[in-house]
Chain A
Amino acid sequence: MESRERRAHLTRYLILGIFFLLFVKIFYLQVLNYGFYKQMSDKNRIRLIPQPAPRGIIKDRNGKQLASNRASFTVSVIPYEVKNLNHTLSLLSKILKTDYQELSKKVEEAGLKSFPPVKLQQDLDFSTLSQIAEKSEELGGVIYQIEPIRQYPQQNWASHLLGYVSEISKTELEKLARLNLRQGVYIGKDGVEKKYDEYLRGKEGCNFLEVTASGRVLGPLKDKIPEEPLPGLELKLTIDADLEAIAESVLSNYPAGAIVALDPQSGEILCAASYPGFDANMFLSTLTPELWKQISTAPNFPLIDRCFQGSYPPGSIAKIIIAGAALEAGLITKETRFSPCHGFYTFGTRTFRCWKPEGHGQLNLIDAIAQSCDVYFYQLGLKVGIEKIANSASNCGWGKKLGVDLPDENSGLVPSIPYYDKKYGTGKWPKSLVLNIAIGQGEFLTTPLQVAALYAALGNQGIMYQPYIVKEIISPTQRLVTTKNIIRQLPFSAKTLEILNQGLQEVVHSPEGTGQIARVEGIKTAGKTGTAQNPFGLEHAWFVGYAPADYPKIAVAVLLENTGHGGEFAAPVAKKIMEAYLKQVVQMVQN
């Protein structure tokens, strides 16, 4: 019996030991890790229902709406609440007229037992919606919500500039991890929508619902106040919608092209049209992978904004830089003449043609600019040399990004001695290359925006402002106004600028000038034509100009792909734009 009592005591200690162990574990759970488990239990019972924020409205410089929001119905499914997923999705695919596989892929990506609603289709029309409502008995776990959705009032209009919004992709979700975005949110993917996404997006709100383990919603959570969505900020652009409309409609008569207009006094982009374009509304709901492929690989690149993402040989537009460089170097005066033009120029064994086969005769600098004589500039180019031309072009802002507030700007290309050394081997390249450079051919590449910015500066005492598109960011409490920003002074003295200006005015006003069609009635206009050779077909037609020439209010660059001579095709387009804008300015002044 003694031993029995000892064993009984031993057992009691054992029991105490095990109870202590249990106590330690309970203490660990309830005291040491209380916070963690409390959070876990809240996460279990609280379902967050995101409340999308209306995206900021985009307006033009005069307050006209360019992008707004409208209400749309979105159908989503809560995978956890669906009893028979196959049945539900196949029924939905019939009603929504979409592919069953596509729907089930969306659900699988989110997780077959997940609580948060998975968006299946946005922007349902009313009849589809009522079909779903009729079948609500069969479609347990399927919900529809009203959401603000992006709307671009005019289709195919300023689409490059504004860009578009679309559902965030997996890679973007990872890239923007710091923003803590939710799957299924819409973000700007191009243009202003992309560049200013953080302002436009706003902040999603949140409703808190209490749910059971099976996903039954008991109602809003009592101890938590819903978070209201914060609408995105309003943007006021520098764009003039009327001018943009004119530019867009003119452009649609040509195979492809771009029109950029700037305010030379500030760098504000007054219009920026690129053709062909796309309907930004299409990216919201109906964009299928096939359609996307069709758009993104189309031979005429509708997604490229030709104004600043496309680069082209400048052609004769570049002559002003060669002239400027020569004047600055003191190599010539405005009266300097070279051997007369007989329609061609012979260098070594090769013959270089002038655009005018019958020749220009012997011209001074002003007339050579006005008539765009190639032979004059061949000789001038030889005199100036590649190094000075390249320096001058770089200092005019070519070959570099301007830093416009739009995504994926192209920098263009200014061929220089190091560039040729690299391409052909040091010193191994033919000296005749400079002849091509002198008339803006060869490897030279510029964007229409760079061209417009250069000529805007030429008309504005050589001061170049950084082009920009967003004029103001407006929040309910304050407005943030973009300040104009001088990015460079052209590498030309006032005297040189005066000569260049004179030449550019002669282009339009001289009876021999190549750009006479661009003349705006009653206003001194300056400009330059360009015809860029293109190995794939007709030449690209250029015209760039500014008006009034003495104190320009607008500088415009027009590029028409595969159309022909700049003076013939691009100049009248430029005239239309300048005229329309100046008429408006005059009206405003009169009022």
Chain B
Amino acid sequence: MTAATLERPVPPVQSEGPAPAARRNFSEELLKVEDISLSFGGVKALSNISFDIRKHEIRAIIGPNGAGKSSMLNVINGFYHPQEGTITYKGNARHQMRPHEAAKTGIARTFQNIALFKGMSTLDNIMTGRLLRMRRNFLWQALYWGPALKEELEHREKVEAIIDFLEIQAIRKTPVGRLPYGLQKRVELGRALAMEPELLLLDEPMAGMNVEEKEDMCRFILDVNDEFGTTIALIEHDMGVVMDISDRVVVLDYGRLLADGTPSEVRANKQVIDAYLGVSHD
């Protein structure tokens, strides 16, 4: 293996600057949703949701089952088109777009139920994350020679860096369908990282994992945020994890916004406690 493979993608400016404590000052908005309403026929999935995601932060979206968390990600991602409301991304109001257009603007995501390409190897799965950056047309690719080979190798090096980062070297050539659940989740994160996204949406990255796997996953999420400066929005049910790793938390319930603030603010919020624990009406 050449030395180049061990290099990680160059982290954006902020990593070498101020100390970690100062880094936790976020001011620049990356994405802002305002008054989003989404309904399927008579069912209101989201009503008048507004919040923002700032650059470089880890933003958690929590709420009981059916609260509309995944719908929110699907809206950001371009799968669902809300009936009302505006989405401002990188300072521009976003028109209605398809998921592949959202991908082009630097939004990547993972799914609650793993959405890997089961018939392909780990390496190929992560390589698909580089597709948007591969420029050679299919005639060059058919020759697999010259510029096409060079491009393929360049991207292979980037992917190998991600494989090293996620510590999945041993399963490089294994078809992902044969991998255990925890590793599949990791490969899916790898595929999203290969896109070098600015905004990474994680839908329950730790669901169904044991404590060690959760710890690994938390470490990867924090490292991605730190080293690559990626903004992360994540849905998670493990409150310990959410309170530990996120900078700000949005709480949804029945499609409405319940609370928005730092973990300690949210934890103290009366409505949130009621939503999670139930209210006694006496």
Mutual binders A and B = no
List A residues at the B interface (Cβ < 8 Å): none
